[in-house]
Amino acid sequence: MTPPSILPAQGSSLPVPLDLGGRTALVTGAAGGIGRACALRLAGAGAKVRAVDRDAAGLEELAEAARGLAGAVELHVLDLTDLDAAELAAAGTDVLVNNAGLQLVRPLEEFPPDVFHTVLTVMLEAPFRLIRGALPHMYGQGWGRIVNVSSVHGLRASAFKSAYVAAKHGLEGLSKTAALEGAPHGVTSNCVNPAYVRTPLVEKQLTDQARAHGIPEERVLSEVLLQDSAVKRLIEPEEVAEAVAYLCGPQASFVTGTSLVLDGGWTAH
């Protein structure tokens, strides 16, 4: 399939709209939060979306929300700790969105080693295997888009989040390596780096953060989560999905190996 023109029609100042008709996109962690928003955005652009998550009920809700969109949504119930299955699931995809994640807030000396291992497996090793599974098809057709949903924690560390920060920093390096190797084959690889997003993952942190910092839950949002952000609000999943969509569009064909930061000014400090 020939990629759409990078430039708008002659005499027009309008950008080329995102059209993923005929493309297959895989989104991990698609049952909720950022993943759900990405799946709906890409399906709305015409893609056939493979929605991957271990939450079967959440996937069913996604399918209901996707009714009437230009593209189709296929549900794939999958635990990403099954790395072989993850790699197989990515075969034949044109767009890969590595989004799935989990979080535990604990001091290093109290952090359970098994949880550390699981976080690194789901958030770093699984993306590697998914990229590995997707690249042969992408290389074969001379086009592909890899978008890794990283975090401001891929660029900055926070106390009590050793596994999450380590995984996101590793994902940044993996993404850049994929960009360098993929460039001769028409494949781009980028990260999207939001600050705290209004998702169940963030909402579940409130109790853990309150315990770790020794403050009431109602103070966690303003005094911990949003302390370093110049924009004092949570970012919405749909805002992150728009950044992902941009990186899949024709205007971003020269954007690769970088991190698109949506952090409300956090890293401006």
Q: Which residue has the tokens 């992150």?
A: 240
- 3-state SS of 33-52 is HHHHHHHHHHHHCCCEEEEE
Q: How far apart are CA 49 and CA 66, in angstroms?
A: 10
Token pair in block for residue 208: 């853990």
Token pair in block for residue 169: 């920093």
Beta bridge partners of 73: 49
- Closest to 97 in 3D by CA, of 14, 36, 143: 36
Q: Are 7 and 34 in contact (CB under 8 A)?
A: no
Q: How far apart are CA 39 and CA 36, in angstroms?
A: 5
Residues identified as active-site: 164
Q: In angstroms, what CA-CA distances link 249 with 6, 21, 106, 206, 246?
A: 9, 12, 39, 36, 5
